[in-house]
Amino acid sequence: MLSGIQPTSGSFHLGNYLGAVRQWVDLQEQNDAFYMVVDLHAITVEQDPATLRENTRVSVAQLLGAGLDPERCTLFVQSHVPEHAQLGWVMNCLTGFGEAARMTQFKDKSSKQGTDRTSVGLFTYPILQIADILLYQADAVPVGEDQRQHVELTRDLAERFNTRYAPTFTVPKPYILKATAKIQDLQDPSAKMSKSASSPKGLVSLLDDPKVSAKKFKSAVTDTDTVVTYDEENKVGVSNLLRIHSALSGQSVEQLVAHFEGKMYGALKTELAELFTEWVLPFQERTKTYLDDPAELDRVLGLGAEKAREVASRTLATVYDRIGFLAPK
Total of chain residues touching ligand ATP, rule CB under 6 A: 20
Smallest distance, ligand ATP to C-beta of residue 325, A: 32
Residue 192 counted as an annotated binding residue: yes
Give Cα separations from 17 to 99, 162, 194 (angstroms).
30, 34, 12
SS3 4: strand
20 binds ligand ATP (CB under 6 A): yes
Residue with Cβ nearer ligand ATP (5 or 158): 5
Q: Are 75 and 304 in contact (CB under 8 A)?
A: yes
Say if residue 4 carries a ligand binding annotation.
no
Q: From start to end of 108-231, where are the E strands? A: 140-142, 173-175
Residues 6+ apart with CB under 8 A from 133: 2, 141, 151, 154, 172
Indicate if 192 belongs to the active site: yes
Q: Of these, 8, 28, 129, 239, which contacts ligand ATP (CB under 6 A)?
A: 8
Residues 169-188 that bind ligand ATP (CB under 6 A): 181-183
Write down the catalytic residue from 173, 178, 192, 307. 192
Spatial contact of 190 and 204, defined as CB atoms under 8 Å apart: no
Task: Indicate which single residue of 192, 216, 245, 269 sits in contact with ligand ATP (rule: CB under 6 A).
Answer: 192
CA distances from 47 to 42, 43, 71 (A): 7, 6, 31
Q: Does 1 bind ligand ATP (CB under 6 A)?
A: no
**Considering the rule CB under 6 A, would residue 63 count as an interface residue with ligand ATP?**
no
By beta-carbon proximity to ligand ATP, the closer residue of 197 and 311 is 197
Q: Decide if 195 contacts 15 (C-beta within 8 A).
A: no
Binding part of the chain for ligand ATP, among 71-79, 125-133, 144-152, 277-285 by CB under 6 A, reads: 144-152
Nearer to ligand ATP, 90 or 183 (CB): 183
Catalytic-labelled residue, pool 182, 195, 216, 269:
195
How far is Cα 207 from Cα 66, in angstroms, rounded to an integer? 12
Active-site annotation holds for 109: yes
The question of whether 178 is a catalytic residue gets the answer no
- Angle subtended at Cα 131 by Cα 63 and Cα 112, rounded to the nearest 5 degrees: 75
One-letter amino acid of 247: A
Smallest gap from residue 21 Cβ to ligand ATP (A): 7
Residue 315 and residue 327: Cα distance in Å, rounded?
Answer: 14
Shortest distance in whole angstroms from residue 238 CB to ligand ATP: 17
Tell the smallest beta-carbon distance from residue 149 to ligand ATP (Å): 11
- The sign one gets for the Cα dihedral 224, 229, 233, 239 is positive
**Residue of 36, 75, 128, 143 that binds ligand ATP (CB under 6 A):** 143
Residues marked as catalytic: 109, 192, 195
Residue numbering of the annotated binding site for ATP? 6-8, 15-16, 144-146, 183, 192-196
